[in-house]
Structure 1
Amino acid sequence: MPRLILLNGAPAVGKSTLAARYAAHHPMSLALDIDRVRGMLGGWADDPTAAGLLARELAVAMARTHLVAGHDVVVPQLLGRLEFIERLDALATEVDVTFLEVVVVAEREEAWHRFDARSAAPENREHVDAATLVRRAGGDTAFHELYDRVRDAVAQRPATRVVESVADDVDATYAALERVLG
């Protein structure tokens, strides 16, 4: 049975890296990075909120198509509000697949350190965009608010599985993800 897997967590804890690794190890699975979808929208940075909402709608349509075709979908996305988590849960029910919620965690200061370092030397467009959005929203204060929102949202979803993001060890973090996914 296909699975819809949400990888939630603060910026720079490895959500997208884990999703890409999962896709590489599970043929025909889709690592559906909504930030990448958002970046494909012309002028998205002029109205990032509207663009983010539209990107999520597009992602739901993509996920539905892929799940119905019989393949796993992994969504790496920072979600500090329940609405989209519940939307993904409803999608899984609608297309009769398993929904698994995972939060990828790192201690607050470790997560901030990783984000700050990644922002100073971004490896891709999504890293540049995340740094810009956090800076526009208030920098380290905004980052810590996002961290808290993820924590608070996850606390309301008791079935969420936890994966500790091991600093500088993607292999160990991915092995932990595989264990919690079963």
Structure 2
Amino acid sequence: MAETHLRTGHDVVMPQLATRVADIAAFEDAAARCGAEYREILLTADKVVAGARFAARSGSATEGIDVVIDRGGGIALVERIHDQLTAYLPQRPDCLVVPTNGRTSGQTYADVVALL
């Protein structure tokens, strides 16, 4: 589906949490087959901030993923994923990183748009 969209000259945004290079190879390959540019952007927060954000959030918008995270260990899972991302990032030298500590969602969005 992404390739069909790319071949018509449109952009594709894949909100994807990847912590292994193998997880994103198919996305990179699809972009290459279509002559499209592949960009990877990682929004980051310190481990303590990420855990606190998870603990503080509530609402129907995140309910489904929150159940999965809670079943996987809650804040301990968030911290494990943070460690995996920390190990993953050096393998992705072209990945653009947007720190989110102390930033509003609007500021973070503006940072992402500026990178694009």
TM-score (norm 2): 0.89
2:55 to 91, 113, 116: 116
Render the CA deviation track for 1:9-62: whole Å, top value 9, x for unaligned. Answer: xxxxxxxxxxxxxxxxxxxxxxxxxxxxxxxxxxxxxxxxxxxxxxxxxxxxx2
2:69 to 115, 118, 134: 134
TM-score (norm 1): 0.59
Extract unaligned runs of 5+ from structure 1. Answer: 1-61
**Number of matched pairs:** 116
Is 1:93 aligned to 2:32, yes or no? yes
Shift of the alpha carbon at 1:166?
4.9
Render the CA deviation track for 1:47-94: whole Å, top value 9, x for unaligned. Answer: xxxxxxxxxxxxxxx211211121111111111121121211111111
The answer as to whether partners of 2:50 and 2:78 remain within 8 angstroms in 1 is no
- Alignment RMSD (CA, Å): 1.5
Same amino acid, percent of matched pairs = 31
One-letter amino acid of the structure 1 residue matched with residue 105 of structure 2: V
Q: Judging changes above 3 Å, is the alpha-carbon distance between structure 1 residues 123 and 166 closer, same or farther for their aligned structure 2 residues? A: farther
Tell me the residue number matched to 1:34.
Answer: none
The answer as to whether partners of 1:103 and 1:160 remain within 8 angstroms in 2 is yes
Extract unaligned runs of 5+ from structure 2. Answer: none
One-letter amino acid of the structure 2 residue matched with residue 122 of structure 1: G
Instruction: Spell out structure 1 runs of 4+ moving beyond 4 A.
Output: none
1:77 to 10, 13, 16: 16
Q: Judging changes above 3 Å, is the alpha-carbon distance between structure 1 residues 128 and 167 closer, same or farther for their aligned structure 2 residues? A: farther
Tell me the residue number matched to 1:180.
Answer: 115
